Structure 1
Amino acid sequence: MTLTPEPYAPRRIAPLGVWREAGHSIKAYGIHRDAELAGPILTDAVVASVRAAVRDVLSVHRGDPRGHGLGYCIAHVGDEAVWLLVDWWISGGIVCQRMLSAPLAQPDMFTPVTAPALACVWELAVIAHERDAWVRHMLTEQPDAGAYLQAVLPAGRY
């Protein structure tokens, strides 16, 4: 039996600022399944739990000699769970990732995802932007971390 995918519907995506966590500067993004949601894309409680989870993931990689101390994270309130992708750059053009999830009813209970997964189509919009920003600002003769951190995907429906 094959599942038929649902038609694509844009979701709301918004930058949440640059977070300084565990020796890294991380561009944070939120995604919400309800594109018409009024108000903040994530509640304060979800933002606090996301930041704690990002800090925990990155603390393991603090001081990695291959690291740049730069990256991004995506917190996505989806249909099945709250997904968290923590991504950081190493060795020039390599992005590393840890994926976590929390139940929708307990968005502060993040656990690592062990299933083979990379990202969904909405998260890939952020990842594509971050790839292009990395190439434009860091893979140059004069890398500019400040310009990379300022290059954020604008809030909108993607």
Structure 2
Amino acid sequence: MTSVSPDYTHRRKRLSAGEGIELPGVRLKWYDLHREDHEIGDDVRKEAREILRAEIGGITPTGDLGFVILHRVGDAYLLVVCTWLNDNELWETVYLKDAAGFELIPFGETAKGTYCVWEMGAILHEQQAWIRYLFSPRDAEAGRAYLADRHPGGLI
């Protein structure tokens, strides 16, 4: 028995690295994720960056390094903010954008969806990048190397 609907048709999505964002206390890599025929507009990307600038102080806790995935899901968008905390833990904050704008998704359930199969392309790369960082001297140069170490992009 499977939980995959018989009507489901899987499609590939494009993952691409964008310009990172530096905010008070945290530096984040940036990834866009979308179907090839449904790209992310500059206006949505700009709005996502603005919400991060406005909300970063309210994301608790947050580490000083991490990454963002701006994922177009049909006509909506998920802004997945991931930061490294407690040495080796990946912490997540998620915003949903629909016609009304970006809004924080609260996680009150005992079980919740985490990453979809496409987001895991970035997650797997970032896990390996973080391991390389943990084995480094973890100084300023290592931080810059982590931020420069991005998924090469492509169809997932």
Q: TM-score, normalised by structure 2?
A: 0.82
Do the aligned residues in 1 keep the contact of 2:14 with 2:155 (CA within 8 Å)? yes
3-state SS in 2 of match to 1:4: coil
Report the counterpart of residue 140 of structure 1 in structure 2: 135
> Residue 110 in 1 paired to residue 102 in 2?
yes
Listed as ranges, the gaps of 5+ residues in structure 2 are: none
C-alpha root-mean-square deviation of aligned residues, in Å? 2.2
Taking the TM superposition and a 5 Å limit, the aligned residue runs for 1:87-98 are 87-98=82-93
Cα distance change, pair 5–98 in 1 and its aligned pair in 2 (3 A): farther
Q: C-alpha deviations, 1:19-42, integer Å up to 9, x for none? A: 112321100100112x256xxx42
Note the alpha carbon deviations across 1:42-80, whole angstroms, 9 max, x for none: 212111111122223422258x6xx64110000011126
The one-letter amino acid paired with 1:6 is Y
- Report the counterpart of residue 58 of structure 1 in structure 2: 56
Question: Take 1:5 and 1:120, find their aligned partners in 2: how far apart are those partners?
Answer: 18
The answer to whether the 8 Å contact 1:12/1:157 transfers is: yes
Distance 1:18 1:78 in 2: 21
**Consecutive aligned runs of 4 or more in structure 1 exceeding 3 Å deviation:** none
Equivalent residue letter for 2:134: L
Alignment correspondent of 2:121: 125
Counterpart position of 1:16 = 18
Tell me if the contact between 2:59 and 2:93 (Cα under 8 Å) persists in the aligned partners.
no
Contact 1:14 1:154 (C-alpha < 8 Å) held by counterparts: yes
2:146 alignment partner, SS class: helix
Matched, 1:86 2:81: yes
